[in-house]
Amino acid sequence: VNCCVGDGLRLDIYITNHTLAPASLGFSWQLDADFADRTEAEQGERQQNAPVECFWESDEGQGKLRFDYRHPQLSHATEICFSGAEHMTQKDGTVSFGLQLQPQEPAHCIIEVLPIFCGKRVRPRYGCDAFGASPADVAFEAGVQMTTGNAQVQRVWDRAVSDLASLALLEGEAEERLTPAGGVPKYLALFGRDVLLTGFQAGLFAPALLRGSLRQIAQWNATEYDERFDKEPGRVIHQRELGPLSLLEKNPFLHYYGDYSAPGLFLIDMALDLALTGDKDFFLSMQDKMLATLEWMERDGDSDGDGLYEYATKAGSWGEKNQGWKDSREAILYEDGRLVEDPITLVEIQGCFYAAKQLLGLAFAGIGEERRAADLLAQADRLKRRFNETFWMPDRQYFALALDPAKKIVRTVAADPGQCLAYGIVYEDRAEAVAKRLMSPDIFSGWGIRTLSDRHPAYNPFAYHLGSVWPASNSIIGFGLKRYGFDAHLHRLAKAMFDAAELFDYDRLPEVFGGNARDQRHPHPGIYPDANSPQAWSAGAVILLIHSMLGLIPVAPRQTLIADPDLPEWLPALTLRNVRIGNAQVSLHFQRDASGFTQCEITCQKGELHIYRPPPAEAGADRFGLAMRAVISR
């Protein structure tokens, strides 16, 4: 039996009678359709309903069962087509047929499920014997290939790359089709934050995914105000779902904008695309959208004009209360467990917007727009200073989680400030204290960095955002540890992630897993039962962790690749092939020597590309920032 899913479903059933006598086989398929939304199925309660009519027709070894949804506003139907058997019958949704096979006689029966969505029939993407490379598989195979003698890392890497290919939405044109869904089974839709973070994680290794995701997301950037959807000009889409409840506007998710990470990540990814490809034409073609998002930051993102960015939904009860990456209602709590009300000034959003301004400023400088570049870099510097003055808790040597509506610091100790290391907003003399706190036992479980310290009264290792471990967040923090020179911490974190992946089916990091401590009582971190698996940004986390250990930063406008590798003992060697920077392509081999130093060797090169290895720097120094300035000034 072969089963292929994609724009419908196709089932190929191959049967051969390998006995010495004739065989009679009977099949029955009990079928029904209710056209419930995913949310309705999860909650067990219908918010929309209508009669479903069933029609059957058959002729010469073929049959078709059709379910029509008689909703006045939804033109939906499902057709199930059968072929390859005789004497098909149907009664009350049960389709039956039989086969008579002589000795050694084969048979091939086909069942196709064809959705009819808003009146448009969609045929299954895959036909007979379709188990082969999909367009997404081919695109990823043309990207960077990683090989290593560490079997654990190789398995987890291969699974992550395969998952990103399998999650491709296959909508739009060219690279747009590689844009990944959020995850399976709950998030088979376009999620701006998830897509853009995955593009950041995997951009160097799959530049077509990054470019396609930017094209796909940009077409939905808001151009008007609509409070029902938290929609404001320049804002970047958070979620686009096409389920019945969204189409009927019983929720805001047909086009919902209630997220603050997506605008910053959109700008970061635009700068990354230029750094990877050197494609000024594409960058300039998106300039109006980038400028609109920058204008949104200052006009609506900073609603009180204090130089920091705070969120509060305008969509009422159906809007997202929390609009950072931790978007569950209870995610942002005071130190005593009370819920922080909106508006909330979240720590990592300041970092994300800082990186957006800084990287976009460098990008504009790279294409000769010096005035705009200088303005953005000055804005970034002001935000960095304001952030460090406001969020730092001297008595705890750590950053506050947020500011509450009264602009008082929320002293909760959580993982969120770790992302600020990745964005480069942390003062260098504070980076070591932040890194040390992140790796302390109350936050680092041994399997990963928890969302919340286990000393907090609301800590729960199996709560969505109150003590669980998210691979996506861990990968960003890992990038930040590398950025500030804490390679040993990064090695420990990466090993924890790879060890955790081995404990889950198919060597796959799920969306989220438990925050249990890694000890004799807990040989497993714990399963979060409702987690997506696969999840796009969990697959991307694997790629970003490898990327971080190699310290690779592309600067295509300068025909340069910054390489600052530091491999751990447990991963002493690996090879990258087909690394593309601008018009150049290289293969690189990395080898840790007996002294612990990681060598970087070019094994193949096409086109002009310079490898820049920055000089050693003290732990706590922003090594990526120093290296970027050195390359740009050359």
pLDDT tens figures, 195-221: 999 999 999 999 999 999 999 999 999
How big is the chain by its Cα radius of gyration, in Å? 26
pLDDT tens profile 282-340: 999 999 999 999 999 999 999 999 999 999 999 999 999 999 999 999 999 999 999 99
pTM above 0.85, yes or no: yes
Nearest-angstrom CA–CA distance, 332 and 505: 31
pLDDT digits (tens, 9 = 90+) for 478-512: 999 999 999 999 999 999 999 999 999 999 999 99
Which of 550, 545, 570, 568 has the alpha carbon at shortest distance from 613? 550
Peptide bond into 185 cis (omega under 30): yes
* CATH class of domain segment(s) 135-552: mainly alpha
Task: Categorize the per-residue pLDDT at 138 as very low, low, confident or very high, splitting at 50, 70 and 90.
Answer: low
Average pLDDT over residues 134-149: 79
The pLDDT of residue 140: 72
Q: Which of 200, 180, 198, 199 is nearest to 190 (CA)?
A: 180
Instruction: Report pLDDT digits (tens) over 419-466.
Output: 999 999 999 999 999 999 999 999 999 999 999 999 999 999 999 999
Task: Provide DSSP, 117-172.
Answer: ETTEE---S--TT--S--HHHHHHHTS-EEEES-HHHHHHHHHHHHHHHHTB---S
Q: How distant is the alpha carbon of residue 542 from its chain centre?
A: 11
Take residue 132 and report the two structure tokens written for it: 């082969």
**484 and 619 in contact (C-beta within 8 Å)?**
yes
Q: Given this model, what pLDDT does residue 8 score?
A: 84
**In this predicted model, what pLDDT tens digit does every residue of 507-557 receive, in sequence order?**
999 999 999 999 999 999 999 999 999 999 999 999 999 999 999 999 999
Is the pLDDT score of 368 beyond 80?
A: yes
Start and end residues for every CATH 1.50.10.10 domain found in the chain: 135-552
pLDDT tens-digit series, residues 352-366: 999 999 999 999 999
Phi, psi (rounded to 5 degrees) for 47: -110, -15
Q: At what angle do helices 487-502 and 471-483 cross, to 10 degrees?
A: 160
**Residue 144's pLDDT band (cuts 50, 70, 90):** very high
